[in-house]
Amino acid sequence: MTNTLANPLTLPCGAILPNRIGKGAMTEGMATPDGVPTPELERLYGIWSDGGAGMLLSGNIQIDRDHLERPGNVVIDQPADDVMMAALKSWAAVATRNGNHFWAQISHAGRQTQSNVNKHPKAPSAVKLGLPGGQFGEPVALTVSEIEELVDRFALAAKTCQEAGFTGAQIHSAHGYLLSSFLSPRANQRPDEYGGSLENRARFLLSAVAKVRAAVGPDFPISVKLNSADFQKGGFAFEDSLQVVQWLEAASVDLIEISGGTYEQPALMGADGMEEKEEQNVAPSTQAREAYFVDFAKAMQASVTVPLMVTGGFRTRAAMEQALEGGAADLIGLGRPMCVMTDAPKQLLAGLDELPRYENTLQLIPDWLGFLKRFQMVKAVDGFATIYWFYEQLFNIGKSGKTDPGLSVFKGFRAVEARNKKLMAARS
């Protein structure tokens, strides 16, 4: 088998990634209550830099402290003061210490901001998330002037990260966050130039890309994370995604990461949503393969030449090599495996055939209560509790440099919840 994973990747802007493995963005929740990177965050990314990936993506770096994806997000919503810039520079230096790239994932949570952060988050339209429990507030539609201000904030965050030593930036337009929700006709019911047609719904995203490019110059890699589809009836469909990818290529984007789903239908996270999934027009082999979005990416490659990154589900080197050699992906993204096996890229490059599937043994609801999983709400909670187990592994790496594979899902869930409450109390 040829080791395609070891090949470098030259991006349209001229930047070169040393190999074809990227650490996918995973929320860390390890900043200070004010959104400043911490030594624990540095330790985590230093260990990942030692792990052999050609590129590391940060978790959400928010452009509005009133719209966090979770407590503990890094926040750049104003020009960085000396303390913030020093922390960013230290983080970037450690995260690139092995010659790999380190890109900032820049985001705004939109209506998926939890109500304990903001009871009335901004969104394209006043369409509330279809989730029970009161965890998310009543959204308020952004004005045109507010949209224009947020476009400027995306550019400010990207430029700040560039000055701090990050080697690229990714604009987050997936998973139902603000830019993603603008693309969805289900969430975006605006009657103005930012709603209605796909061209209008993509205007915010394309404006942000243009402003970021103007701020960072032609040689700095810009990526976009984009849903292949929302997997919801009336949501952002694959055909729409294909058109947006073509527009992004024309806008000088260097890499597009293909993902999918929203909080209401969390396809990427391996959790079940609150409604029946809307199927999309792609090959059924997506269901059989270990990688979630390979077929979507392969269909896109027929229409564009921009490099594509596929993240989600990869566990065997054979499947990764097949995706690269078959033209379905240019960069393989790894997420959960690197929460426990921090040097997974290095081991794959050295010939490891398969990564552990930790999630297969994790469950909040024990087998003897398995009948409860017939209820969608219980099934969704069980899935999100598993995600919290991985969150806790990241915290352990940042705190001590070690993971705890034997941690129970319940203990991991409780630990993350307690830390979130502490961060929120300190923030308020």
For each of the domains in the chain, give its residue range(s) and CATH number, in order of start. 16-360 (3.20.20.70)
At residue 79, does pLDDT exceed 50?
A: yes
Distance of alpha carbon 359 from alpha carbon 199, whole angstroms: 39
What would the mean pLDDT of 150-162 be, rounded to a whole number?
98
Q: Report how far residue 200's alpha carbon sits from residue 193's, in angstroms, rounded to the nearest whole number.
A: 5
Lowest mean pLDDT among 141-150, 379-388, 415-424: 379-388
Contact 216, 222 (CB under 8 A): yes
- pLDDT of 283 strictly over 70: no
pLDDT in tens, 323-360: 999 888 999 999 999 999 999 999 999 999 999 887 65
| C-alpha–C-alpha distance, residues 410 and 406, integer Å | 12
Residues 123, 181 contacting (CB under 8 angstroms): yes
**Interval 78-105 mean pLDDT:** 98
Neighbours of 211 (CB within 10 A): 20
Q: Average pLDDT over the chain, rounded to whole?
A: 87
Cα–Cα distance, 425 to 428 (Å, whole number)? 5
pLDDT at residue 301, rounded to an integer = 82
- Residue 23: predicted pLDDT: 97
Q: What is the pLDDT of residue 362?
A: 61
Within 154-297, strands assigned E span: 168-173, 222-227, 255-259
How confident is the model over 67-76, as pLDDT tens digits? 999 999 999 9
**235: pLDDT confidence band, cut at 50, 70 and 90?**
low
Could you tell me where the beta strands, DSSP code E, fall in 177-253?
Answer: 222-227
